[in-house]
Chains A and B, each alone.
Chain A
Amino acid sequence: EAQVTQNPRYLITVTGKKLTVTCSQNMNHEYMSWYRQDPGLGLRQIYYSMNVEVTDKGDVPEGYKVSRKEKRNFPLILESPSPNQTSLYFCASRFPSGTGGTQYFGPGTRLLVL
């Protein structure tokens, strides 16, 4: 089954404690991205990757890092989480840019930073 998986699904942490949210896709997609979803603000792109070792900032990259060492995985790293990073996070993937195309979303990771 074609899917995007994220772990963990729910996470409570404290300010300053580094965390990583994993994302993996089994569709051989080149393009992957991370979004955060907040009430009234919709989905905002954090980082994206057009291929292995190619990453770039989205609209709200501050406080986040990503890496793309393998095609299937695209982890999101919060080096020093703060309460304003409390949000619902989605990973997504699709075939290369240049067209619309179907973007597949993961099930989401709900993060609470105390």
Chain B
Amino acid sequence: QKEVEQDPGPLSVPEGAIVSLNCTYSNSAFQYFMWYRQYSRKGPELLMYTYSSGNKEDGRFTAQVDKSSKYISLFIRDSQPSDSATYLCAMGVISSGSARQLTFGSGTQLTVLP
């Protein structure tokens, strides 16, 4: 079993829809959680990160973490065609002695249709 599971999609939604992207994980030691966006032929770019259970909002994006269920989500409100990309979840352990921290999901490909 992978440490981080993410539905690969593809996911297609109409413009303006609310998008829900999800990851589950098995390692209860994970302490911080990130979402990356990756456009075609580009490197991933950090969208959001959070350390605690609950919601974190940034514009149209909301990251949700449920540590008890080992489940994280990214919600995109009023989705736009420019949101079409692959979204990667990532999570890690905070450790001053180790930098080998991030474990990535396999990514969900999202297309927002105009």
Chain B contacts for A35, CB-based, 8 A:
104
B106–A42 contact, CB under 8 A? yes
Chain A contacts for B98, CB-based, 8 A:
97
The chain A residue sitting closest to B99, CB to CB, is: A97
A103 within 8 A of B: yes
Cα separation A64 to B32 with both chains bound (whole Å)? 29
Cα separation A24 to B95 with both chains bound (whole Å)? 25
B104–A42 contact, CB under 8 A? yes
A43 within 8 A of B: yes
The distance from the CB of B65 to the nearest CB of chain A, in whole angstroms, is: 13
Question: Chain B 83-114 against A: per-residue CB contact (8 Å), 1 yes, 0 no?
Answer: 00000101010111111111011110000000
Cα separation A31 to B102 with both chains bound (whole Å)? 13
CB-CB under 8 A for A98 and B95, given A43-B88, A43-B104 = yes
Stretch in B10-18, B45-53, B69-77 with 4+ CB within 8 Å of A: B45-53
Residues of chain B at the chain A interface (Cβ within 8 Å): 4, 6, 8, 32, 34, 41-46, 49, 51, 88, 90, 92, 94-102, 104-107
Can you report 7 residue pairs joining A to B where beta carbons are below 8 Å apart?
A45-B102, A59-B100, A90-B43, A97-B95, A97-B101, A100-B94, A105-B43
